[in-house]
């Protein structure tokens, strides 16, 4: 498979690229900074330098042509302000989804956030973030041309992954290592029977592959 990942230098994306390359898939990561290209190449991934905050749908569709799946793992990051929550967490996700439709890439996985809600109230930065993520999710759900899956991890940690998770429509809050988020994403892109599902993810007691298979087709 060829999988194109938006936010290719993000902490989850780098882990995902390593996993995909190790299993023989062709991983390509969209990055904003040319100086990040070597990091991706060292993982076995193809770097694509393109700024999703300024690119056109046509430009993004061009890099998605021929892909088997697209993963949106970009984020403005914890240090960013209100403006970039909209331009990255919402607008870039919408752009990437539109580009996938234009390029004919049906399989689409988006990394969202637990608590994401287009109707979320409040004016703090985190409120705006949850609203932006919720709006992006709602837009992706509206696109009949995509076989989408929305993944909403709990509190992200840098603890080593255990390979044991809880993946359900509703899990309740909890932590999840980024290693395990990447492992679940790698399984999801390869499991189209999870299309149409919005899934929450926290650490648990079920092996990743079993957890994904158990929700597939639900």
pLDDT tens per residue across span 40-67: 999 999 999 999 999 999 999 999 999 9
Record the pTM. Answer: 0.94
Q: Which of 114, 129, 179, 185 is catalytic?
A: 129
* pLDDT tops 90 at residue 218: no
State yes or no: is 129 an active-site residue. Answer: yes
* pLDDT tops 90 at residue 211: yes
For range 32-44, the mean pLDDT: 96
**pLDDT of amino acid 146:** 98
Asked if 128 and 151 touch (Cβ cutoff 8 Å), the reply is no
Helix (H) or strand (E) holding 3: strand 2-6
Q: Determine how β-strand 206-207 pairs with β-strand 164-168.
A: antiparallel
Percentage with pLDDT > 90 across the chain: 85
For range 138-166, the mean pLDDT: 97
**pLDDT of amino acid 9:** 96
Asked if 9 and 33 touch (Cβ cutoff 8 Å), the reply is yes
**pLDDT of amino acid 20:** 98
Helix (H) or strand (E) holding 135: helix 125-141
Q: Is 191 helix (H, G, I), strand (E, B) or coil?
A: coil
Six-digit token string for 109: 């996985």
**pLDDT of amino acid 82:** 74
């Amino acid at each position: 498979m060829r999988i194109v990942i938006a936010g290719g230098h993000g902490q989850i994306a780098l882990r995902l690229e390593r996993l995909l390359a190790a299993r023989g898939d062709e991983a390509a990561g969209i990055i904003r900074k040319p100086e990040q290209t070597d990091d991706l190449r060292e993982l076995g991934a193809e770097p694509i330098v393109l700024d999703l905050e300024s690119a056109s749908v046509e430009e993004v569709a061009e890099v998605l042509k021929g892909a088997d799946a697209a993963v949106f793992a970009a984020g403005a990051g914890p240090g960013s302000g209100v403006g970039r929550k909209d331009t990255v967490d919402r607008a870039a996700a919408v752009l990437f989804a539109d580009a996938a439709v234009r390029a004919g890439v049906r399989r689409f996985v988006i990394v969202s956030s637990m608590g994401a809600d287009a109707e979320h109230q409040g004016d703090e930065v985190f409120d705006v973030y949850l609203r932006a993520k919720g709006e992006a999710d709602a837009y992706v759900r509206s696109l009949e041309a995509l076989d989408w899956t929305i993944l909403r991890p709990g509190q992200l940690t840098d603890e080593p992954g255990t390979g044991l998770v809880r993946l359900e429509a509703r899990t309740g809050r909890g932590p999840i290592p980024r290693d395990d988020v990447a492992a679940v994403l790698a399984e999801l892109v390869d499991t189209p029977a999870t299309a149409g599902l919005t899934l929450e993810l926290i650490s648990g007691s079920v092996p990743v592959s079993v957890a994904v298979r158990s929700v597939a087709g639900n």
